[in-house]
Amino acid sequence: MYPAATLEIESPETIENWRPLVQWLLAIPHVVVLYFLGIAGVVAWVVAWFTTVFTGRLSEEVAGWLAMIHRYQFRVTAYTGFMYEEYPPFDFTRTLEEPGGSPVSVSFEPQFEERDRLTCVLRIFWLIPIAIFSAIVYFAATILWIGAFFAVLFTGRWPEGLLDFVVKALRLNLRANTYGSFLTDQYPPFALE
């Protein structure tokens, strides 16, 4: 269990068969918003790096921004991947706890004080192993997502094993992102939990 970031997805037992064909189109407004949030995320990341390296602490305001961006990203990813049907809210709540209103629950417990400045300075290098592992797992999940596309298209259901693996891959990706965006100094585990 990695307490710095949690992700849960309440996926329905059945999904309407047409959703894999068009749900990604319905998500285009969210993808546009994510583009601009990504720009804000880079700014927040730079601010987080400087404040953590020079003061040894992370600002709650910056942590809130980073949490909101990560939460928005994973809600849109799960929706685009037809893991649930409810249209994701345009929610820009900058809280660390899950504000609700979506089947995708993303919460954070960042480390604000007593940060290890050296690991923050070298974070980009420490991030490489977990980023490679996460990319490999996410690539496998993407291939399984293609299989799930046809399963949902013809049966209206996600195969349980595929859904479980994809959710675990998303969780791993969230943990790597949480570590990479300075929300914690705790290294994410190389595990699918």
Q: Using N-to-C axis directions, what is the helix angle for 19-26 and 28-55, rounded to 10°?
A: 60
Which amino acid type is present at position 24?
W
Q: Answer yes or no: is pLDDT of 12 > 80.
A: yes
Q: What is the DSSP letter of 3?
A: T
Give the confidence band of 1 by pLDDT, cuts at 50, 70, 90. Answer: confident
Question: C-alpha dihedral over 173, 130, 160, 142, to 10 degrees?
Answer: 70
| pLDDT on residue 87 | 95
- Please write the tens of the pLDDT for every residue from 163-193: 999 999 999 999 999 999 999 999 999 999 8
Prediction pTM value: 0.94
Give the confidence band of 9 by pLDDT, cuts at 50, 70, 90. Answer: very high
Give the confidence band of 3 by pLDDT, cuts at 50, 70, 90. Answer: confident
